[in-house]
Chain A
Amino acid sequence: MTTTLQNSGQTVFIVDDDDSICEALSNLLESVGIAAQSYPSAESFADSWERGSAGCLLLDARLPGMSGVEFQEQMHASGIDLPIIFMTAHGDMPMVRNVMKAGAVEFLIKPFQKEELLHAVDQAFALDKTRRADEEVLQSIRTRIDSLTDREREVMRLVTTGLLNKQVAAELNLSEITVKLHRRRVMEKMEADSLADLVKMCERFRSLDH
């Protein structure tokens, strides 16, 4: 299991106010070949966060300053989109339920077994990978859409809803020839092999871009 995690370019970002915990966790993660970085508080992590960093957060639920639970609520606003593994010395049920509902991967009660931790990291990394891949696809589609002219974007919108060239022409008050021309340009720019491909692309973009 651990071998699959190695050299994936992903990092576990450990946030715990207790140095010795941070040190022990990074030691263990490194021993199984996982990169780890430690931060004493949620604020210090947010400050040094770089967009595009891959991996997951290993977050203590109770921290001085902003607590882990509060940080989870604010992460989206800060543009940080990492899966979270919570850990705490005393987990009360309502808190566990709340953070899990808010999308946490796992809730670990200190002290925890190695397998519990690595399994959670495994899950979190996989989730991070999927999200990142989705993000990449989204990004490339967005770039292609951005290269379209306004008119071409209009034509794509109408074509992908299933209208025939003739109907699109009527809708946009253009000649059928012109529509055909625009349509070819759209297919080229969007790197779509077929209309079905274009429709799929548009749907994916709509579903991921919130």
Chain B
Amino acid sequence: MEFLFKPFGIAVAFVIVALIWTFPLQHVISYPFVFLFFGAVMGTAWFGGTIAGFIAVALSSLLVTFLFIPPLYSFSVAKGSESFLTAFILCAIAISFLSAARKRSENAIREARDQLEEKVHERTAELEQSNRDIQESERQLRLLTEAIPQQIWRADASGKIEYCNQHLVDYLGIPAREACDDNFFRILHPEDESIFRHGWQAALVTGANFEIEARIRNRAGIFRWFLVRSIPQRTEDGKIARWYGIHIDIEEQHKAQQSLARAHEEQVRIAHTLSMAEMAASIAHELNQPLTAVMTHAYACREWLHANPVNVDRASATADKIVQESTRAGEVIKRVRALFRNEPQVRQKADLGVLIRDTARLLRDEAIRRVISTHLFIAEDLPRIEIDPVQVQQVLINLAMNAMEAMASGQPPLELSIRAEKKSEREVFVSVEDRGPGIPSETAARIFDPFFTTKAEGIGMGLAICRSIVEAHDGRIWAQSLPGGGTAVQFTLRNRQ
């Protein structure tokens, strides 16, 4: 019942106020003046709600019936006044409803407004928080980019550098503002600049990830190798918003790689030279023995002839020995020749074009390392002829290596060309050409002789071996200078029939 106290109180208060004002006013206005009670009902319903309104209606009706409707001071209602009373009660009820409803809608509006305000507060707080979060994460990101011991930058969609981290700035030794912009290419090694610029501009157009190894100059003017890698960040509609780049220092790896390559090359060279040197030493020893004997006998022979009296018998016997030992020396040379020529040969019909392509593939790494481009011109109608593929490949490798070495100190473009043409149904022609300094004609005639060499560390057997292989294939080998500079070593191979 407690919930009735407040509405009841409000109703009583309003009704009493209406009653107090009605008493004096009824003397001014003759007709039963009860309109102030409508005010009381309206006020009660406004402040106390519907229930309070009804209580006020009830109280007002009782008081009006008792005090102002004849017979006065009685709850009975005189004839003729019922309609008045009924109209009063209906009006009061209606007013009470209207007032309460109005009050409710007012409350609802206020409530909605309050809620809205509250929401706005909440949202504001959330926004502030997320703003702080973003700032924090940005700060952390920046801290991270500075903490990574690599050089990091950011560029706009056009490739203009907008931001460089401290490492990059420190490395370059120039203010961040200067490091930005197109000047970026100036920090590169001149040899790397053009390839870098092309690659970067291509990446900017295609939007592909960019990666390149290049030398970058530090504050002291010294170049170090870096792996430069850049990836685009795209907006939701796929357009490139900006580029992020990182420079990873690969100087040490590069050095290690280079020394590895050098060591490897040295090893191959030493192995090659060693086997050749060993062979040469053994040939030299083989020849040296009879030569020493010949020389010693010759001295002895002279002594026997100068003796007094002349010892003709010993001199003659010694001369025989000289012939014998010279013959032995000749046999050594024959054996050495046989070593090169009469190796058991595995003759088979082979496609020389395939053999040349295989050889070029074998030498690919070497050519790349020496920045030499290799061109093969192999005629379509090359006849298949019977050759020893291993030996012929040995010739090709030897000639190609010589050609590359001839260009070792040359100016670009460095080109190695191998041509193969058909001479007849049973003969092919091969030419191995370089862009080196060429070959003097007097040298050209001798380079296929054993032990002839123009190289400091060569022993002059390579081309001699080539010649013996080519001749074993009933072919010929020769060298000539090319009109545009460079040397062509050419040979033919013939089908034995």
**Residues of A near any B CB (own CB < 8 A):** 18, 20-21, 23-25, 27-28, 30-32, 89-90, 110-114
* Bound-state Cα–Cα, A114 to B301, Å: 12
- Contact (Cβ within 8 A) B299 A28: yes
B283 to chain A, nearest CB (A): 12
> When A90-B281, A111-B295 are in contact, do A27 and B289 touch as well, CB less than 8 Å?
no
Q: Assess the B314–A31 pair: CB atoms within 8 A.
A: yes
Binary contact readout B283-305 vs A (1 if CB under 8 angstroms, 0 otherwise): 01100111111111101110110
- A129 to B288 Cα, complex, angstroms: 33
Which of the residues B284, B297, B304 comes within 8 Å of A24, measured between beta carbons?
B297
| A-contacting residues, B99-135, CB 8 Å | none
B281 touches A27 (CB 8 A): no
In the assembled complex, the CB of B317 is this many whole angstroms from the nearest CB of chain A, namely 8
A32 touches B281 (CB 8 A): no
- Count chain A CB atoms within 10 A of each CB in B296, B297, B300 and give the residue with the most: B296
- CB <8 Å contact, A90 and B285: yes
**Contact of B325 with A20 in the complex, beta carbons under 8 Å:** yes
Q: In the assembled complex, which residues on chain B have CB atoms less than 8 Å from the CB atom of A21?
A: 289, 292-293, 296
Chain A CB within 8 A of B468 CB: no
Count how many chain B residues have C-beta atoms less than 8 Å from C-beta atoms of the other chain: 26
Task: For A27, list chain B residues within 8 Å (CB).
Answer: 296-297, 300, 314, 318, 321
Chain B residues near A30 (CB-CB < 8 A): 300, 314
CA distance A28 to B298 in the complex (A): 8
Asked if A24 contacts B285 (CB within 8 A), the reply is no
The residue of chain A having its C-beta at the shortest distance from the C-beta of B289 within the complex is: A18
Q: Which residue of B281, B285, B307, B328 is within 8 Å of A20 (Cβ)?
A: B328
- The residue from B289, B299, B311, B328 contacting A114, defined by CB atoms under 8 A apart: B299
A32 with B292, Cβ < 8 A, contacts A24-B325, A89-B284 known: no
- Give chain B nearest CB distance to A194 CB in angstroms: 51
Residues of A within 8 A of B290 (CB): 20
A6 to B148, alpha carbons, bound, how many Å? 92
A111 x B304 contact (CB < 8 A):
no
Once the chains are docked, how many angstroms separate the CA of A114 from the CA of B325? Answer: 18
Query: Shortest CB–CB separation between residue B305 and chain A, in angstroms?
Result: 9
Q: Contacts A20-B325, A111-B295 given: A28-B300 contact, CB under 8 Å? A: yes
The distance in angstroms between the C-alpha atoms of A28 and B301, with both chains bound, is: 8
Could you jot down 27 A-B contacts, CB within 8 Å?
Answer: A18-B293, A20-B290, A20-B293, A20-B321, A21-B296, A23-B293, A24-B293, A24-B297, A24-B321, A27-B300, A27-B318, A28-B296, A28-B297, A28-B299, A28-B300, A30-B314, A31-B299, A31-B307, A31-B318, A89-B285, A89-B292, A110-B289, A111-B296, A112-B292, A112-B295, A114-B296, A114-B299
Minimum CB–CB distance from B433 to chain A (whole Å) comes to 39
Write the nearest CB–CB distance from A176 to chain B, whole angstroms: 69
